[in-house]
A and B are shown apart, each in its own frame.
Chain A
Amino acid sequence: MLLAADIAIPSAQPILFVEFRFLWIFAIIFLVHWALRSNTSRKVWLLTASHVFYTCFFIGNPLEFFPNLFAGAWDRLPVGWWFPALLWGSTIMDYYVGIGIEEAKTDRRKKTWVVMSLLINLGVLCFFKYYGFFEENVRMVFRYLNLEPTWEPLKVFLPYGISFYTFQSLSYSIEVYRKHLPAERSFLNLAFFIAFFPQVVAGPIVRAMTFLPQTLTRKKLADVDVRACLVMFLMGFIKKSCIGDTLAQVSDAYFADPDRYDVFGTWMGVLCYAGQIYCDFSGYSDMAISVSRLLGYELCQNFNFPYFSRNIADFWRRWHMSLSSWLRDYLYISLGGNRGSKIFTYRNLMLTMLLGGLWHGASWNFAFWGALHGFALIAQREWQRIAEILPKVERVVGYIAVPLTFYWVCLAWVPFRATPIYQNAAYADNEGQPIPLFYTAGGFQDAREHEMVFPAASLGRDNKTGNWVVKAQDGKPESVIEMRLSGFDVTKTTLRSMVFFQENGRKDLGGNFCLVLLAILALVHWINSRNLLSTWWRKIPDWLFSAILGSAVSLALYFKLVVYKQFIYFQF
């Protein structure tokens, strides 16, 4: 059903926080939650709502899904409809792992339990996330050796959120093993912690140590800072829907045709991507945190103005803080951390960043991104040694520390974003130029307009060349989709332009308006980082706050882009 070579495209669409349907769904969850009296009934309600929320990502229209399910029409069910069972499976397993660790009499038995949790959780994650990557690389080796792979490619879809809830679940079993946390005897509490809907699909990666104690106390609506939550939610919405999606127009245009733009266009494309990914992800985190707070639960902060970091280590203390702290506590420290020689420490740093890169996606691009950051962390440590001896030099470098760090981060974003560009001779513009395509799990999309052009059901692979092939209705190959630029080519082209100011093409991108917009956004971001305007809205009366909020929402709706782009971090 799932593991067939030719497979139906999932018809289900995730519910995004920026959609209206989320507002009314949340309104119902909020009202029922606060209407319930007991803590247990509230948790049951939120657990149910969380699983319904998560399941909706996979089953599509319930009015079609359930009749097909009950009728046994398996071929008409969306691909991955059963993925929510993985979430339950992980929860049930870690529930018994926690109790098993606590009740184990010997350290060896405790270790057996936690290793089992690690193997199963990471095994499931690795299968869904890396099988395709592994198979593609094996095929490349076969083709390099002039051998023809004889097996049919297996198409494995990545369940939304598996990277996040797996890490969350692992944090529980590891903390119980390390005796930082008692085993949770209430299945309800553990299940609620893992599946809590604001963070289940894209974080923040919440630690069991910080969340589970919150499940023990009954929350009061009077303790919720509703005003702050509404402001935070609106800010997140503006960051994602207005700013992030707008900047994405420039970065998408650039990365669809990187070899056609001049140096200014390259810089605009990369800067806009840096803005897009920050606004997209921090905007989502803001919305998740505010939604959670409205229900009385505190999630961890995930971003702290990372683009004002003074060095790479500082950047990782401010960017995706929940992931970086998870990697530090459970991977870097477990590998030995800095409790050894310099080379040993650097090895651990590089391994952590490489694996952190691969966590983001099954591609060498992400590994390269991680390696760039690992290299930067190592370079920073070496620099710190030198700086101790040369304080004057350190002072001079200090003046450019922030832009230098930002420059390196932008360079590293290039491989992170670079996706291979494809083309098909039959899909061209009015001048006969092939329109760039990029590959997604659903098929090939127009790289500029993000419209599906060749859905997965119409595609096949040529086992000899590895090229994608568009099949006619009778199944025979009709045309070939060729790779115009690999991810490596896109990266190389862009970095050449950014580092050596080499022109790739003559097209410009963005122009003065884009530059001014970025400058204004940077200024506003800096003002926020200094908390210069962060509390004025607390001091005004309720009626004035309501009026200003209403006007702000109106402006936000006016400037949002109507065709929704999906959150970048949903793909991880």
Chain B
Amino acid sequence: MKGLLNILIFTAALFATSALISSRQPPPPVPIVQPKLTWLAEHGEQYDTFYLGSSRTYRQIIPQLFDSLMTEAGQPTRSFNLGVDGMRPPEDTYLLEQALKNRKKPLKYVFVECNAIRVPIDPEKRDTIRTVYWHDWTRTSAVTSAILKPDFKKKNWRDRGKEWTERWPDLYEHSLLWLRNTTEMGRGGDWLKDRILNRKTVSLGMHDVGPLRDGFNEVKPPRIMEGVELATYETDLAEMLEKPPRVVHAEPASQRELLYKKQLIEKHGGRMVLVIPPMTQSRCFLPEDNATAPLVLNFADPAKYPELFEARHRLDSGHVNTLGAELFTRQIVNQMKGLSAK
């Protein structure tokens, strides 16, 4: 009993000290994320519309174009692109929370890239601040829930066993990341490293916020598919046309993430619009029920949006290029106009 009490005191002291350290720390220098949050802290009230997602949002939805088209349609907006390369739930939820933290003015729309929670961690990115920073209690709980209660519908016992075996190391990894984030592990070491090497801490520039400071950055250098990559893409596209993507709802935790985002956006007076970007895929994640199913704009449909899948508008199978981004943004506006007309 006494031993248990001492362990509890130890744990409480550890986390109390970490909380004190954390309260004195500047925000972590996360590329793309921190510059955007810094910009929004000063100018956030100017914007009433946000786009949230991965590179398929960051590099593909052009705020300036969207705003001008929506203004022409009689629904003026001032939008900001909150997309970040490689971002998936629940990191995007964390970023949205941070962006809306002290917001007073109501939102109009938040376009959210429709993705399930991503559980596996890229080993090359494990020890980066980008992987650590969003692992607070809420987000880690969401990932833990996704791991412990995976989507086991229509899976046989062997597949379930295989999935459990693959996912358990992820539980350990995410728990560790939570601990690293909570204890601000290594932040003091980084500071010492910079001081001992007598070098200035690199501050993240505003280039991630885009040249127009609207959060959008186009892909550079521009490129198009060719050779083997193009041939593979055309094969995948043909398959997709023949057999449309299977709808999946993923695990309950992913559904709860969607619902939470919807509630957060509505709390700030906005409407959530789910966007499925134009990409070749065999599965398509969608909300499960109407309560969570706000507006859904599904562009992963080459039959309906052939121009978004033309090779000259593509960067690769998952992304459109700059030309494609213009088309994609226009299509979003067209869909929004259509929905408003209804």
**A residues with CB within 8 A of B:** 20-21, 63, 242, 245-247, 249-250, 253, 508-511, 513-514, 517, 542-543, 545-551, 553-555, 557-563
- Establish whether residues A514 and B13, one from each chain, have CB atoms under 8 Å apart when the complex forms: no
Residue of B2, B183, B190, B192 contacting most chain A CB atoms (<10 Å)? B192
Given contacts A508-B198, A543-B6, A543-B9, contact A550 B17 (CB under 8 A): yes
B196-A250 in contact (CB<8A): yes
- Does any Cβ of A come within 8 Å of B137's Cβ? no
Q: Within the complex, what minimum Cβ distance (angstroms) separates B247 from chain A?
A: 31
- Measured between beta carbons, the chain B residues less than 8 angstroms from A253 are 197
Query: Which residues of B pack against A, CB within 8 Å?
Result: 2, 5-7, 9-18, 21, 127, 165, 172, 176, 179-180, 183-190, 192-193, 195-198
Q: Which residues of B contact A562 (CB under 8 A)?
A: 127, 180, 185-186, 189-190
Q: Give bound CA distance, A309 to B188, whole Å.
A: 32
B329–chain A nearest beta-carbon distance, Å: 34
Q: Check B10–A514 contact: CB distance below 8 A.
A: no
Report B115 CB to chain A, min CB distance, Å: 27
CB distance from B24 to the nearest CB of A (A): 11
Question: B5 near A543 (CB under 8 angstroms)?
Answer: yes
Q: Which residue of A lies closest to B22 (CB)?
A: A558
A509, B165: Cβ atoms closer than 8 Å: no
Identify 13 residue pairs between A and B in the complex whose beta-carbon atoms are under 8 Å apart, listed by A's number: A246-B189, A508-B198, A513-B196, A547-B12, A548-B13, A549-B10, A550-B10, A550-B14, A554-B183, A555-B21, A557-B186, A558-B184, A561-B193
With A550-B14, A554-B13, A558-B187 known to touch, is A514 a contact of B5 (CB < 8 Å)? no
In the complex, A560→B193 CA distance in Å? Answer: 10
Q: Which residue of B lies closest to A542 (CB)?
A: B6
Say how far B30's CB is from chain A's closest CB, in angstroms. Answer: 14
Residue in chain B with minimal CB distance to A268: B196
- Complex contacts, A555 vs chain B, CB 8 Å: 17, 21, 188
Q: Which residues of A contact B196 (CB under 8 A)?
A: 246-247, 249-250, 510, 513-514, 517
Inter-chain contacts of A63 with B (CB < 8 A):
165
Given contacts A245-B189, A514-B196, A546-B13, 9 further A-B contacts (CB under 8 A): A20-B179, A249-B193, A253-B197, A510-B198, A546-B7, A550-B17, A551-B14, A554-B18, A562-B190
Chain A: which residue is nearest B193 at the CB level?
A: A249
Q: How far is the CA of A191 from the CA of B31 in the complex (A)?
A: 52
Residue of A nearest to B21 (CB): A558
Interface centre among B127, B190, B193 (most CB of A within 10 A): B193
Cα(A75)–Cα(B283), bound, Å: 35
Closest 9 CB pairs between A and B? A550-B13, A562-B186, A554-B17, A511-B198, A550-B14, A558-B188, A559-B188, A561-B189, A546-B9
- Cα distance A549–B13 when bound, in Å? 8
- List chain A residues, Cβ under 8 A from B2: 542
Bound Cα distance from A535 to B180, whole angstroms? 31
- Supposing A510-B197, A511-B198 touch, asked if A546 and B10 sit within 8 A by C-beta, the answer is yes
How many whole Å from B121's CB to the nearest CB in chain A? 15
Chain B positions within 8 Å of A510 at CB level: 196-198
Chain A residues whose CB sits within 8 angstroms of the CB of B187 once the complex forms? 558
Report chain A residues within 8 Å CB of B13: 546-551, 554
Docked pose: A553 CA to B14 CA in angstroms = 7
Instruction: Give complex CA distance A557, B11 in Å.
Output: 14
User: In the bound complex, what is the Cα–Cα distance between A509 and B199 (angstroms)?
Assistant: 10
Q: Which residue of B lies closest to A24 (CB)?
A: B172
**Residues of B contacting A550 in the complex (Cβ-Cβ under 8 angstroms):** 9-17
Known interface pairs A553-B14, A554-B18. Does A560 touch B198 (Cβ–Cβ under 8 Å)?
A: no
Smallest beta-carbon distance A268→chain B, Å:
9
Whether A558 contacts B198 by the Cβ 8 Å rule is no
Q: Are B186 and A560 neighbours in the complex by a CB distance under 8 Å?
A: yes
Nearest Cβ in chain A — how far from B282, in angstroms? 26
Collect the chain A residues with CB atoms within 8 Å of residue B186's CB.
Answer: 557-558, 560-562
A20 to B9, CA, bound (A): 20
Query: Within 8 Å CB of B16, what residues of A?
Result: 550-551
- A553 and B17 alpha carbons, distance in the complex (Å): 9
Q: Is the CB of A246 within 8 A of B198?
A: no
Residue of B nearest to A20 (CB): B176
Chain B residue nearest to A512 in the complex (CB): B198
Which residue of B7, B14, B180, B192 is within 8 Å of A554 (Cβ)? B14
A102 CB to closest chain B CB, in angstroms?
45
Whether B165 and A560, one on each chain, are in contact in the complex, defined by CB atoms closer than 8 angstroms, is: no
Please, how many angstroms separate the alpha-carbon atoms of A511 and B15 in the complex?
34
Cβ-defined contact, B192 with A558, below 8 A = no
Q: Which of B15, B17, B195, B196 has the most chain A CB within a 10 Å cutoff?
A: B196
Q: Are A554 and B21 in contact (CB under 8 A)?
A: yes
Whole-angstrom CA separation of A75 from B306 in the bound complex: 46
Chain A residues positioned under 8 Å from B189 (CB to CB): 242, 245-246, 558-562
* Alpha-carbon distance between A423 and B233 when the two chains are bound, in angstroms: 39
Please indicate the chain A residues that have their CB under 8 angstroms from the CB of B193 in the complex.
Answer: 246, 249, 561
Contacts of A561 on B, CB cut-off 8 Å? 186, 189-190, 193
Closest-CB distance, A196 to chain B (whole angstroms): 26
Shortest Cβ gap from B162 to chain A (Å): 10
**Beta-carbon nearest neighbor of B8 in chain A:** A546
Give every chain A residue within 8 A of B188 (Cβ-Cβ).
555, 558-559
Chain A residues with CB below 8 A from B15, complex form: 550, 554
Contact: A513 with B195, CB < 8 Å? yes
Roughly how many angstroms separate A510 CA and B187 CA in the complex, as a whole number? 19
Complex formed: what's the CA distance from A547 to B5 in Å?
A: 11
Closest-by-CB residue of B relative to A243 is B192
Q: Which residue of A lies closest to B189 (CB)?
A: A561
Residue of B nearest to A241 (CB): B189
The answer to whether B185 and A558 touch across the interface, beta carbons within 8 angstroms, is yes
Within the assembled complex, what's the spacing in Å between the Cα atoms of A333 and B6? 50
Residues from chain B with a CB closer than 8 A to the CB of A242 are: 189
Residues on the B chain within 8 Å of A249, using CB: 193, 196-197
Evaluate contact between A557 and B192: CB separation under 8 angstroms.
no
Q: Which residues of B contact A511 (CB under 8 A)?
A: 198
B192 contacts A246, C-beta separation under 8 Å: yes
What is the CB-to-nearest-CB distance from A12 to chain B, in angstroms, rounded to a whole number? 14
Residues of B within 8 A of A553 (CB): 10, 14
Which residue of B is nearest A545, CB measured?
B6
Known: A246-B196, A513-B195, A551-B17. A557 touches B12 (CB 8 A): no
Whole-angstrom distance between the alpha carbons of A514 and B13 in the complex? 31
- B184 CB contacts on chain A under 8 angstroms: 557-558
B123 CB → nearest A CB, Å: 11
Cβ of A123 to closest chain B Cβ, rounded Å:
39
Distance in angstroms between the alpha carbons of A548 and B16 in the assembled complex: 11
Q: Which residues of B contact A508 (CB under 8 A)?
A: 198
> Which chain A positions have C-beta within 8 A of B176?
20
Q: How far is the CA of A555 from the CA of B13 in the complex (A)?
A: 11
Given known pairs A546-B7, A548-B13, A550-B13, the reply for A559 and B192 (CB within 8 Å) is yes
Let me know if A547 and B10 touch, CB within 8 A: yes
**A118 CA / B18 CA spacing, docked (Å):** 53
The closest CB in chain B to the CB of A517 belongs to B196
Measured in the bound complex, the distance between the Cα atoms of B6 and A545 in whole Å is 9
How far is B176's CA from A368's CA once the two chains are assembled, in angstroms?
44
A547–B11 Cα gap in the complex (Å)?
8
Q: How many whole Å from B29's CB to the nearest CB in chain A?
A: 13
The docked-state distance in angstroms from the alpha carbon of A543 to that of B7 is 9
CB A459 to nearest CB in B, in angstroms, measures 21
Cβ-defined contact, A557 with B5, below 8 A: no
Bound state CA distance, A557 and B17, in angstroms?
11
Q: Check A557–B198 contact: CB distance below 8 A.
A: no
